[in-house]
Amino acid sequence: MSINSMDHTEIANVSSKWDYKDETASSIAVNKKQQAEARRRIEMLRDIRESGLTIDEAKELGLIH
């Protein structure tokens, strides 16, 4: 199907059926991703602390950006 053969009213009807829930699902996924990244950073900092390194030493070694 070519883009020229598509009916604009048909496209408008389909887009009007989109649910707000579909749009919020992606923001929830982003939030979960940010939470997972934060947990990984916290775990990394705990591991560095347990190893006896200082933050400056960890930065010098490239463990922290």
Tell me how crowded residue 53 is: count the other CB atoms within 10 A of its CB: 16
CB 48 within 8 A of CB 29: no
What is the pLDDT of the chain when averaged over all its residues? 81
65/46 Cα distance (integer angstroms): 16
- The 3-class SS string of 8-63 reads HHHHHHHHHCCCHHHHHHHHHHHHHHHHHHHHHHHHHHHHHHHHCCCHHHHHHCCC
pTM of the model: 0.52
pLDDT of residue 28: 73
Please give the DSSP secondary-structure letter assigned to residue 1: -
